Amino acid sequence: MVSRESAKRQIIGGVNMSAPSFESFVAQYLRLAVCGTYWGDEGKGKIVDICSEYFDIVVRFSGGENAGHSVNDESKNFAFHLLPSGFARGKTCVLAGGVLLKLQALVAEIAENTPKLSCTAPDVLIDERCPIWTPYHALFEAYIERLRGKDAIGTTGRAMGPLQGFHSMREGVIAAHLRDRRQLMRVVTQLHAILKPCFDKMVDEVPTPASVVDELVALAQSSGILKSIIDTGAYLFDEITKGSKRVLFEGSQATGLDVNAGTWPFTTSTSSTAGGIAAGTLLPPGALSGTLLVMKLFPTRVGGGSMPSELSSREAIQRFADANPELFENGSARAEFLEDRLRHCNTDDATSAELGEYIMVKAREIGVSTGRGRSPGRPDLAWARYAIRVNDPIGCVLNGLDVVSGLEIIEVVTGYRYRGVELAPGIVPVLDLANVEPVIEQWPGWKEDITGAASMNQLPQNARRFIERFEEGLGRSIILIGTGTKRRDVIFREPKARLNAIF
């Protein structure tokens, strides 16, 4: 373990400020995006939190309550779903038009997180174009997931698919309707009429359109949210062009879950990549100055859909998590398990499923939104190269380096073989990911616990070598390395000019 005191000496404002500085790196990008690489839960919340210190406005542009972003600011733990993570630092928060909005959830989230703030509660601005959740969307999602049977997407149950789907079909409520009860009643009644044949087949109680409208109107008024519903595209445009404000875009989910780029149909229903920012905010595409692509060393997946580097299986990992809740709480059971299992994982007898369980416990891979166990995969350069092609980041963020401390060998996926042929870097098949065979290399690990390391020279030589090799495999600079869950557990590295963004 790196001494907290020596780490602290080098840290100002949450990040390692020993030269070279993260602050001067970030200062070059007036409008920066943070997007995910794999299948979500890569630690974007923490990175947005660190970056948001240097920005005025933090914007969510897609997804909805399905997201789960944790921010740990030493004394308080914030768990955000709809609120941008910049809320924790009191930054102006914008839910742009691409966000699928459950009003009830947003109101509850603001109420839950405001008392934890050590600053004045920030403004939360909502776009008038945001599609608005109704119980009809949720009933319909449960209905189609049941119909899908073994092909169920395994959604978070937050009705993202129906919300986005009906919106694309030009049906449903948008935030602007909340200003006009008559219009609201019309669109809610129409949605109810469209779904009535499905509702007739359900045992669940279906609320009347009038009760849905009453609840929305009462909530919008009593919470004061009605006043915050504006044209956020115009607001952002003005703040950028006239007010010289710096804007941070917070991606939700990740490239593997993006409705276009991801492992369709096992994706979410909105765009999670940098490409989704223009459509989700109505800022012109050229407004973005750069993207940070966040990955964690051991990617994880929940719900349905393939992950070529998976160590165990979704079902087995969930059974393990359900059977051993004590391993996720601090205490002797956890400590003993981690010690024994690490020793075992360093023998030839260990199975990949056992390593998967170890990583899941060590990194506490349990969903913030759903409480589901996340199934870990091996470090995967092949998928990361695809995500780099799609997002063209100015740099990558590698989280979870601390998780692998103690493993003598780390198996890394360096490519994908499909139908007997190794795929070119940056290429993945759209439908048949289950039949992709990972190309695996064994790389040396390190013994030392690196939790809390805040500079490269606090890392053992093998960890430094591992990062250099991983970076070469990515073909893009790793500029931040996460070494723990706290704000300050991060190392900044200067980007290498030869590994620059292309566009």
Binding site for ligand IMP (CB under 6 A): 39-41, 66-68, 153-156, 158, 160-161, 252-253, 257, 266, 268-269, 302-304
Exactly one of 49, 69, 73, 81 is catalytic; which is it? 69
Distance in angstroms (rounded) separating the CA atoms of residues 392 and 476 = 9
> Phi and psi (nearest 5°) for 230?
-140, 180
Least distance to ligand IMP, CB of residue 136, Å: 16
C-alpha 232 chain-centroid distance: 22
Distance in angstroms (rounded) separating the CA atoms of residues 108 and 104 = 6
Least distance to ligand IMP, CB of residue 55, Å: 22
CA dihedral 243, 47, 71, 320 (to 10 degrees): 150
Least distance to ligand IMP, CB of residue 325, Å: 20
C-beta closer to ligand IMP: residue 39 or 320:
39
- For residue 100, CA distances in Å to 60, 372, 456, 490 come to 10, 22, 40, 32
CB 444 within 8 A of CB 454: no
Least distance to ligand IMP, CB of residue 367, Å: 7
C-beta closer to ligand IMP: residue 155 or 228:
155
Least distance to ligand IMP, CB of residue 71, Å: 14
Bond from prior residue into 20 cis (ω within 30 degrees of 0): yes
Tell me, yes or no, if 69 is annotated catalytic: yes
Q: Which residue has its beta carbon closest to ligand IMP? A: 303
SS3 label, residue 424? coil
CB 397 within 8 A of CB 378: no
SS3 label, residue 23? helix
Using CB atoms within 10 A of its CB, is residue 224 exposed (0-12), middle (13-18) or buried (19+)? exposed
Number of H helices, E strands in the chain: 15, 21
SS3 label, residue 142? helix
C-beta closer to ligand IMP: residue 108 or 499:
108
Least distance to ligand IMP, CB of residue 425, Å: 25
C-beta closer to ligand IMP: residue 45 or 425:
45
C-beta closer to ligand IMP: residue 102 or 362:
102
Tell me, yes or no, if 137 is annotated catalytic: no
Amino acid at site 203: V
Least distance to ligand IMP, CB of residue 255, Å: 12
Least distance to ligand IMP, CB of residue 493, Å: 27
C-beta closer to ligand IMP: residue 40 or 445:
40
Helices (H), 223-287: 232-241, 276-281
C-beta closer to ligand IMP: residue 84 or 473:
84
Exactly one of 41, 380, 392, 402 is catalytic; which is it? 41
> Phi and psi (nearest 5°) for 91?
-80, 150
Q: How many CB atoms lie within 10 A of CB 411?
A: 18
Least distance to ligand IMP, CB of residue 20, Å: 32
Laid out side by side, the sheet with 421-422 consists of: 421-422, 409-418, 437-444
Picking from 454, 422, 461, 457, the residue whose alpha carbon sits closest to that of residue 438 is 422
* SS3 of 90-139: CCEEEECCCCCECHHHHHHHHHHHHHHCCCCCCCEEEECCCEECCHHHHH
DSSP state of 457: G
Distance in angstroms (rounded) separating the CA atoms of residues 316 and 318 = 5
C-beta closer to ligand IMP: residue 79 or 202:
79
C-beta closer to ligand IMP: residue 249 or 266:
266
Task: List, by residue number, the catalytic residues.
Answer: 41, 69
